[in-house]
Copies of this chain bind each other. A is one copy, B any other.
Amino acid sequence: MAPRILHLNAFENFSPGNIASGMWRHPQDRSSEYKSVRYWTRLARDLEQAGFDAIFLADILGILDVYRGGPDEALRTASQVPINDPLTVVSAMAAVTERLGFAVTVSTSYTHPFMLARSLTSLDHLSDGRVGWNIGTSFLDSAARNLGAGEQIPHDRRYDRADEYLEVTHRLWELSWDEDAVKIDKVAGIYSDPSKVHPVRHHGEFFTVPDPFIAEPSPQRSPLLYQAGSSGRGQQFAAEHAEGVFVHGTRPEVLKPIVASIREKASLFGRAPDALKVFAVATIVTGETDEIAQAKYRNLVEYADYRGAMVQFAGPAGFDVDQIDPDVPLTDIDSNGAQFTAKFFASADPDRVWTLREVAKYMAVGGMGPTIVGSGATVADELERWAEVADLDGFNLAYAVRPGTFDDIIRYVTPELRRRGLLSAGEGPRTLREAIFGEGQTRLSPDHPHWKIQQ
Q: A residues bordering B, Cβ < 8 Å?
A: 14, 16-17, 22, 24-27, 32, 35-38, 40-41, 61-63, 65, 70-73, 75-78, 81-85, 87-92, 94-96, 110-112, 114-115, 118-119, 121-123, 125-127, 142, 145-148, 150, 182, 184, 186-187, 189-194, 197, 207-212, 214-216, 218, 305
Contacts and interface: CB of A to CB of B under 8 A. Distances in A.
Nearest to A86: B122
A207 B58 CA distance: 26
Interchain residue pairs A-B with the least CB separation, the first 6: A78-B191, A84-B122, A91-B92, A72-B194, A82-B216, A35-B125
Nearest to A38: B95
Give the copy number.
Answer: 2
A75 B115 contact: no
Contacts of A125: 35-36, 84
Contacts of A210: 145-146
Contacts of A22: 189
B145 A211 contact: yes
A355 to B, nearest CB: 22
B77 A24 contact: no
A24 B145 CA distance: 46
A194 B119 CA distance: 33
Contact of A16 (B78, B126, B191): B191
B25 A71 contact: no
A192 B82 contact: yes
Contact of A95 (B26, B41, B76, B190): B41
Nearest to A117: B85
B91 A25 contact: no
> Which of A82, A83, A142, A148 counts the most chain B CB atoms within 10 A?
A82
A27 B186 contact: yes
A85 B118 contact: yes
B190 A76 contact: yes
26 contacts: A24-B186, A25-B189, A36-B125, A37-B126, A37-B127, A38-B95, A63-B212, A75-B193, A76-B192, A76-B193, A81-B214, A82-B215, A85-B119, A87-B119, A88-B90, A88-B123, A89-B122, A90-B91, A91-B91, A92-B92, A92-B95, A110-B115, A112-B147, A114-B146, A145-B208, A148-B207
A78 B185 CA distance: 11
A91 to B, nearest CB: 4
Contacts of A145: 208, 210-211
B88 A214 contact: no
A84 B197 contact: no
A68 to B, nearest CB: 10
A91 B96 CA distance: 12
B88 A197 contact: no
B88 A119 contact: yes
B212 A84 contact: no
Contact of A122 (B14, B70, B114, B212): B14
A211 B76 contact: no
A27 B186 CA distance: 8
A40 B122 CA distance: 13
B91 A37 contact: yes
B90 A186 contact: no
Given A17-B191, A95-B95, A209-B146, A197 B25 contact: no
A75 B191 CA distance: 7
B118 A197 contact: no
A93 to B, nearest CB: 8
Given A37-B126, A191-B17, A88 B85 contact: no
A193 B71 CA distance: 11
Given A76-B192, A81-B214, A85-B119, 10 more contacts: A26-B186, A37-B91, A84-B122, A88-B88, A89-B91, A92-B92, A110-B115, A112-B147, A114-B147, A150-B208
A78 B147 contact: no
Contacts of A122: 14, 84-85, 88-89
Contacts of A112: 110, 147-148
